[in-house]
Amino acid sequence: MKKLFFIWLLTISFISLYGQEFSSEIFHEGFLVTTKKDTIRGALKYDMQSNIVYITDRGTLKTFSSHKIFYFEIFDAAVDNYRQFYSLPYKVSIGYKIPILFELQYEGPFSLMTREAIIQEAVSSTATYWGGSTTRLRLIYSYYFVNKEGEMVFFSGRKKELMEIMKDKSKYVKEYIKEYKLQVDEIHDLIRVTAFYNSI
């Protein structure tokens, strides 16, 4: 009996770690625009950690780094929606910027961009035989705001920091967040907050 339970536990752990499929791991129909303004249509797969996009062009698999990409768009069947990505210069050290990939979440005078990463985390479980933990993969986002001058600022997800970023309208934003009980470190709520900020 204990042996069967142990096998079941290993199976559950395996599913938790490997049973998920993320959008960045599969190909999507879409198109890519290069910095030379060439448009390539085909199946695309993106890798934000490496800032690379793979695309099939007439049966040939091509690889583009963020240095050669202006924009790309995919239809993500997993979320049943179109997704838009840009390669934008980002400051990695004082006086030095490199183009990296960002996804556009909300476009306006004050836009919201994101980068995603897949992390592995331990999940405690009281249901296990010895009260241990299992592991799972989880998608996380890092947030960036871009103003109409093209200046980009990183947002860590803290409410106090958001009020500083949106200080010219922070009173109204704070009331809006409280009224609708929004969590500013959650992507869907942050999109709502950004849209509200732009509407004031």
Concatenate the DSSP letters of all residues of 39-81 into one string. EEEEEEEEETTTTEEEEEETTEEEEEEGGGEEEEEEEETTTTE
Domain annotation covers residue 83: yes
Domain annotation covers residue 186: no
Give residue-wise pLDDT tens across range 137-196. 889 999 999 999 999 999 999 999 999 999 999 999 999 999 999 999 999 999 999 999
3-state secondary structure 83-107: EEEEEEEEEEECCEEEEEEEEEEEC
Q: What value does the mean pLDDT of the chain take?
A: 88
What is the model's pTM? Answer: 0.83
Domain annotation covers residue 167: no
Domain annotation covers residue 180: no
Domain annotation covers residue 195: no
Give residue-wise pLDDT tens across range 91-116. 887 778 999 999 999 999 999 999 99
DSSP3 helix / strand / coil % (the chain, rounded to 5): 30, 45, 25
Alpha-carbon distance of 100 to 83, in angstroms, equals: 16
Number of domains in the chain: 1
When pLDDT is cut at 50, 70 and 90, the band that residue 136 belongs to is confident
Domain annotation covers residue 171: no
Domain annotation covers residue 192: no
When pLDDT is cut at 50, 70 and 90, the band that residue 89 belongs to is very high
Q: Is the pLDDT of residue 14 over 60?
A: no
Q: Which domain holds residue 106?
A: 2-155
- Residue 126, pLDDT score: 61
- Residue 190, pLDDT score: 98
Mean pLDDT (whole number) for 42-68: 96
Mean pLDDT (whole number) for 44-69: 96
Domain annotation covers residue 123: yes
- Residue 85, pLDDT score: 98
When pLDDT is cut at 50, 70 and 90, the band that residue 134 belongs to is confident
Mean pLDDT (whole number) for 56-80: 95
Q: Which amino acid is at 29?
A: E
